[in-house]
Amino acid sequence: MATVSVSNTGETTSSSKPLHKVILASLVGTTIEWYDFFLYGTAAALVFNRLFFPQTDPLTGAMLAFATYALGFLARPLGGLVFGHYGDRIGRKKLLMASLVLMGAATVLIGCLPTYSQVGLLAPVLLVLLRLVQGFAVGGEWGGAVLIVAEHGDAARRGFWCSWPQAGVAAGNLLAAAILAVMAGLQTDAEFLAWGWRVPFLLSAVLIGVGWWVRTTVDESPLFAELQRTAQTRRAPALEAIRTRPRALAIGAGLRVAENISYYVITAFSITYLTEVVGLSRQTALKALIVGAAVHFVSIPAFGWLSDRIGRRPVYALGALGTGLWAFAFFRLLDTGATPAVMAAIVVGLVMHAAMYGPQAAFLCEMFPTRIRYSGVSLAYQLTSIVAGSLAPIIAIALLRQTGSATAVAVYVALVSAISLAAALLARETRGKSFAEIDAQ
Report the C-alpha gap between 301 and 12 in whole angstroms: 23
Query: For residue 10, what pLDDT is reported?
Result: 44
320 in helix, strand or coil?
Answer: helix
Looking only at the bridges linking them, the beta strands covering 4-6 and 12-14 are antiparallel
Q: How many CB atoms lie within 10 A of CB 300?
A: 30
pLDDT tens string, the chain, 441 residues long: the values are 344 444 434 444 444 457 888 888 888 878 887 787 777 767 776 777 778 877 666 667 666 777 776 777 778 888 888 888 888 888 778 887 888 888 888 889 999 999 888 888 898 889 888 988 988 888 877 888 888 888 888 889 999 999 998 998 888 888 887 887 788 778 787 888 788 888 888 888 887 888 788 778 777 778 878 777 876 777 788 889 999 999 999 999 999 999 999 998 998 888 889 988 888 887 888 889 889 989 999 999 999 999 999 999 999 999 999 999 999 999 999 999 999 999 999 999 999 999 999 999 999 999 999 889 988 998 888 888 778 877 888 899 899 989 988 999 999 999 999 999 999 999 999 999 988 888 877
CA contacts within 13 A on the Cβ side of 422:
10
Q: At what angle do helices 246-264 and 312-336 cross, to 10 degrees?
A: 20
Q: Which of 262, 251, 232, 259 is nearest to 376 (CA)?
A: 251
Dihedral pair phi/psi, residue 219, rounded to 5°:
-80, 160
How far is the C-alpha of 396 from the C-alpha of 384, rounded, in Å?
17
Contact between 226 and 324 under an 8 Å Cβ cutoff? The reply is no
Enumerate the domain spans of the chain.
Answer: 17-440
* Burial class of 172 by CB neighbour count within 10 A (0 to 12, 13 to 18, 19+): buried
- Please give the pLDDT value at position 62: 67
**What is the pLDDT at residue 5?**
43
Task: Using alpha carbons, list the distances in angstroms from residue 150 to 164, 318, 360.
Answer: 10, 23, 12
260 Cβ neighbours under 8 A, 6+ residues apart: 384, 385, 388, 389, 392
CA atoms of 39 and 176, how far apart (whole Å): 5
Query: CA–CA separation, 39 vs 33, rounded Å?
Result: 10
State which fold the 17-440 domain adopts: Growth Hormone; Chain: A; (1.20.1250)
Q: How far apart are CA 342 and CA 21, in angstroms?
A: 37
pLDDT score of 8: 39
